[in-house]
């Protein structure tokens, strides 16, 4: 496999829970020393790149904020390319800091786009209805992700998807989706490195969002047997990975 660049999923590939995958930090350092372009991908819509980097650094990874690619980073790139200036943010955590650092602040006047992430407790009737009204007045709808739910420590939690669907249902509009497995996400990640799909491979633990998503964009998909990997899921999947490796620490063996 002859590649110039890698898209590497973070959760389940670099670490599982609170433990780094054995050998992963060294493998990443080696790839960087050899001059490969890398973007580390996360679908989180509650954390900024700085927060993600702090966690990775604590686990021994030498990765900088500029190498992290999230739905918020994709949205910023998307907004700039589309010439959108007025945005209204329906988000939570420190994701708004990511936009602020790019010079984008939430506004309620002259709204061209409503950006919806997993806003947690910031979702209220008032906030949703405000977003609904901006959309009726002509704003576009951008979803950082459209997942149905996620698992927290104390049980299942609604993700952004049900709220995005509610706004789509009420307005008849279709959201532009920024996160994996959307084509937009993979294409903007490639753009940020200035490389083409055929020169790049995606490394991930999710057969659908990582491998299916990348392959549909012409990017080779390498599945790791860590994180959420289950042999039966691989067997049942219609998507066939380009390669399957034990973990990201074994990436070297197929290069
Ligand atoms: Mg993953």
Please, what are the domains in the chain? 5-43+181-254 (3.40.50.1000), 83-177 (3.40.50.1000)
| Separation of CA 11 and ligand 1 centre (Å) | 4
pLDDT-based confidence at residue 228 (cuts at 50, 70, 90): very high
In angstroms, the Cα distances linking 48 to 92, 96, 148, 242 are 10, 8, 21, 31
| Separation of CA 167 and ligand 1 centre (Å) | 28
Q: What is residue 1's predicted lDDT score, i.e. its pLDDT?
A: 81
Q: What is residue 153's predicted lDDT score, i.e. its pLDDT?
A: 80
pLDDT-based confidence at residue 150 (cuts at 50, 70, 90): confident
Q: What is residue 152's predicted lDDT score, i.e. its pLDDT?
A: 81
| Separation of CA 88 and ligand 1 centre (Å) | 29
Q: What is residue 39's predicted lDDT score, i.e. its pLDDT?
A: 98
Q: What is the pLDDT of residues 75-128, one digit of tens each?
A: 999 999 999 999 999 999 899 999 999 999 999 999 999 999 999 999 999 999
| Separation of CA 77 and ligand 1 centre (Å) | 23
Task: Please state, in angstroms and rounded to a whole number, the distance separating the CA atoms of residues 182 and 145.
Answer: 9
Task: Please state, in angstroms and rounded to a whole number, the distance separating the CA atoms of residues 146 and 150.
Answer: 11
């Amino acid at each position: 496999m002859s590649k110039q660049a890698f898209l590497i999923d973070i959760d389940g590939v670099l670490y599982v829970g609170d433990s780094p995958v054995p050998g992963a930090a060294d493998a990443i350092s080696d790839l960087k020393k050899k001059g490969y372009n890398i973007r580390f991908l996360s679908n989180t819509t509650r954390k900024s790149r700085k927060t993600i980097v702090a966690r990775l650094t604590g686990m021994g990874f030498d990765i900088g904020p500029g190498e992290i690619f999230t739905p918020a980073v994709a949205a910023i790139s998307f907004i700039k390319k589309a010439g959108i200036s007025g945005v209204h943010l329906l988000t939570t955590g420190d994701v708004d800091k990511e936009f602020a650092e790019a010079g984008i602040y939430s506004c309620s006047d002259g709204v061209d786009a409503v950006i919806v992430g997993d806003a947690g407790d910031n979702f209220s009737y008032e906030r949703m209805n405000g977003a609904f009204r901006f959309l009726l007045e002509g704003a576009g709808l951008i979803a950082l992700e459209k997942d149905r739910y996620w698992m927290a420590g104390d049980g299942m939690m609604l993700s952004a998807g049900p709220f995005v669907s509610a706004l789509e249902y009420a307005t008849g509009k279709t959201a532009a989706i920024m996160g994996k497995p959307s084509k937009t996400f993979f294409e903007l990640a490639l753009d940020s490195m200035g490389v083409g799909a055929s020169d790049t491979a995606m490394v991930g633990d999710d057969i659908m969002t990582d491998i299916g998503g990348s392959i549909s964009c012409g990017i080779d998909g390498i599945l790791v047997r860590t994180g959420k990997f289950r042999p039966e899921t691989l067997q049942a999947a219609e998507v066939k990975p380009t390669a399957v490796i034990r973990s990201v620490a074994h990436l070297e063996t197929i290069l």
